[in-house]
């Protein structure tokens, strides 16, 4: 072999090795590479995290958490009408339509420990909501609620379901304003009042430029600051119980979680975006609801493992990777 060619052969071997090793990593990496545990120790909680590399970590203790939903149902029925705005995406990316958004929910939640995700059509949603909602979550991204659960009246099945403890996560348009029928959409007068008790939804395309300083934006790494379709807090009934998260313009907030009966309605501002989807998954997985309070949080950089203690609370949410999450888990603390 010619001497001058040896480095080129070495370069070739290195490039091929990079490709092959990378391929193996792509197809063998899994959530099993990470683990976390939380135990009660006197008046504190002890946490331990393990992972295969070096990551930022956040351990958050929460009171009033809704806990992990037993099942997550994502509504999607192409046969039914929907009311969402088309959004632009960067060149080369898949168009962010309702079908792709829904399809993306399952893997986005999986990284956060939620694996029981099911896409349901209008009929199936009707069946699900005919039963009590406690512990279950429904995600509606269609901008219009199917007529199998909603007729524009306060006695609708969907409201009964929420009041029995169901969690409704909403994004894409004004909540309650549209009923989806097969192939069409019907507008409802004062539909948002049915869910929120007031006509309070912002329909302007605004953004939150301030971070809401209750800590949730930082510990949940919330990203979306769009406020269209978000409720104006000042217009909500005075007795509303809610928590807001993310970004604000002073009156509207990027995420608003409201108490409705024993259940909750959580509204995500803005038209479709990847950031909104990530925030949606993060809020579902962390179990943050209208009465959740952040007790304490620990943060830093973990190299393969870390142990520590944190203030006692109902639940502990763990995030590895920060804005680039590789592992998130909710631990419910049971004494």
The residues that touch another protein, with contacts defined as CB under 8 A, are 4-5, 7-8, 11-12, 15-23, 25-27, 29-33, 52-56, 86-96, 100, 104, 107-108, 110-111, 207-211, 217, 221, 223, 225, 247, 273-275, 301-303, 321-327
Least distance to another protein, CB of residue 106, Å: 9
Least distance to another protein, CB of residue 315, Å: 22
- Going by their DSSP bridges, the two strands 263-268 and 117-120 should be labelled as unpaired
Sign of CA dihedral 270, 273, 274, 275: negative
Closest CB to another protein among residues 94, 190: 94
Least distance to another protein, CB of residue 57, Å: 9
Which distant-in-sequence residues (6+ apart) come within 8 Å of 185 by Cβ?
81, 82, 83, 144, 178, 179
Least distance to another protein, CB of residue 58, Å: 11
Least distance to another protein, CB of residue 95, Å: 4
Backbone angles phi, psi at 26, to 5 degrees: -60, -40
Closest CB to another protein among residues 172, 263: 172
Least distance to another protein, CB of residue 330, Å: 16
Closest CB to another protein among residues 168, 306: 306
Q: How many residues does the chain have?
A: 335
Closest CB to another protein among residues 12, 154: 12
Across 135-169, b (16+ Cβ under 10 Å) vs e yields: ebbbbbbbbbbbbbbbebeeebbbbbbbebbbbbb
The 3-state DSSP class for residue 48 equals strand
Closest CB to another protein among residues 63, 299: 299
Cα distance between residue 281 and residue 107, in whole Å: 10
Cα distance between residue 222 and residue 244, in whole Å: 12
48, 86, 178, 295 from 285: Cα distances, Å: 19, 27, 28, 18
The 3-state DSSP class for residue 99 equals helix
Closest CB to another protein among residues 158, 281: 281
State CA 243 to chain mean position distance: 15
Least distance to another protein, CB of residue 133, Å: 28
Closest CB to another protein among residues 83, 326: 326
């Amino acid at each position: 072999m010619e001497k001058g060619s040896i480095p080129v052969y070495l370069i070739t071997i290195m490039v091929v090795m990079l490709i092959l090793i990378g391929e193996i990593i792509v197809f063998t990496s899994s959530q099993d590479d990470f683990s976390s545990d939380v135990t009660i120790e006197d008046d504190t909680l002890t946490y331990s995290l393990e992972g295969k590399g070096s990551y930022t970590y956040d351990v958050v203790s929460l009171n009033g958490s809704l806990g992990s939903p037993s099942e997550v149902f994502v509504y999607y029925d192409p046969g039914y009408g929907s009311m969402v705005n088309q959004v632009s995406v960067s060149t080369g990316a898949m168009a962010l339509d309702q079908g792709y958004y829904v399809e993306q929910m399952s893997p986005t939640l999986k990284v956060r420990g939620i694996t029981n995700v099911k896409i349901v059509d209008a009929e199936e949603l009707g069946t699900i909501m005919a039963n009590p909602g406690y512990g279950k979550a429904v995600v509606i991204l269609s901008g219009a609620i199917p007529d199998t659960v909603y007729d524009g009246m306060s006695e609708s099945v969907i409201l009964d379901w929420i009041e029995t403890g169901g969690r409704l996560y909403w994004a894409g348009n004004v909540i309650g304003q549209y009923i989806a029928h097969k192939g069409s959409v019907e507008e409802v007068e004062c539909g948002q009042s049915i869910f929120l008790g007031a006509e309070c939804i912002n329909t302007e395309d605004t953004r939150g430029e301030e971070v809401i300083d209750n800590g949730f934006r930082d510990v949940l790494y919330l990203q979306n600051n769009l406020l269209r379709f978000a409720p104006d807090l000042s217009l909500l009934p005075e007795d509303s119980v809610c928590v807001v998260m993310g970004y604000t313009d002073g009156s509207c907030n990027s995420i608003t979680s409201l108490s409705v009966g024993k259940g909750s309605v959580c509204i995500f501002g803005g038209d479709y975006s990847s950031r909104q989807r990530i925030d949606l998954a993060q809020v579902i997985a962390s179990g943050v609801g209208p009465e959740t309070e952040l007790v304490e949080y620990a943060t830093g950089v973990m190299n393969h493992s870390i142990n520590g203690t944190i203030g006692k609370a109902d639940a502990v949410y763990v995030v590895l990777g920060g804005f680039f999450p590789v592992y998130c888990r909710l631990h419910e603390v049971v004494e």
